[in-house]
Amino acid sequence: MSRVGKLPVNVPAGVDVSIKDSNISVKGTGGTLQLTLNSLVKVVNDAGKLSFQPANDSREADAMSGTMRQLVNNMVVGVTQGFEKKLSLIGVGYKAQAAGAKLNLAVGYSHPVNIDMPAGISVATPTPTEILIKGADRQRVGQIAAEIRAVRPPEPYKGKGIRYADEKITIKETKKK
């Protein structure tokens, strides 16, 4: 069995987990998240501990038990603490401004780039060159961060562009005569 799948998910106080039919719903202070359960995994709620067992002895069921366990654990962490991604803008004149559920970027194009945030995702700009994305759903936070980074990815010669705060860019050497 998967090593990750063997560990139970502890449900803290204030978090409500309900398993109905083939859906699992996690509700907490950060919001409500839902996930469709895989038929290869059996979920057992035992007094605040969720355990995941494979439904049969196949390799797919074993792998899926670990996957489902981690997805539900991310849901529990998301509704209690939340997830965040930090982006940095590197370049002369590059700046970002958060206005409600919109993010306005000036990153060297002839026009400003406006990005609408979906429900459940909040964006903040502590400084004009930093973007902070927060939300309860880990996958959506990462996807929005990747879409913002794709507006102007870091280029390899000067390193200008939008990058994750912990990302290291390898700078290439220019051609010599």
Same domain, 75 and 94: no
Residue given tokens 């439904």 in the structure block: 55
Same domain, 23 and 96: no
Model pLDDT, residue 21: 86
Same domain, 94 and 146: yes
Domain enclosing residue 9, as ranges: 3-80
Residue 172 domain-assigned (yes or no): no
Q: What is the pLDDT of residues 128-161, one digit of tens each?
A: 999 999 999 999 999 999 999 999 999 999 999 9
Q: What is the pLDDT of residues 103-130, one digit of tens each?
A: 999 999 999 999 999 999 999 999 999 9
The count of structural domains within the chain is 2
Residue 173 domain-assigned (yes or no): no
Give me the long-range contacts of 33-40 (CB less than 8 A, separation at least 24): 33/75, 33/78, 33/79, 33/136, 33/137, 35/68, 35/71, 35/72, 35/75, 37/68, 38/64, 38/67, 38/68, 40/64, 40/65
Same domain, 92 and 66: no
Same domain, 95 and 22: no
Residue 174 domain-assigned (yes or no): no
pLDDT band at 2 (very low <50, low <70, confident <90, very high): low
Same domain, 38 and 105: no
Same domain, 20 and 48: yes
Residue 169 domain-assigned (yes or no): no
Model pLDDT, residue 170: 93
Model pLDDT, residue 176: 86
pLDDT band at 4 (very low <50, low <70, confident <90, very high): confident
> Whole-model pTM?
0.89
Residue 175 domain-assigned (yes or no): no
Model pLDDT, residue 167: 92
Same domain, 53 and 110: no
How crowded is residue 145: how many other Cβ atoms within 10 Å of its Cβ? 22
Residue given tokens 């509704």 in the structure block: 79
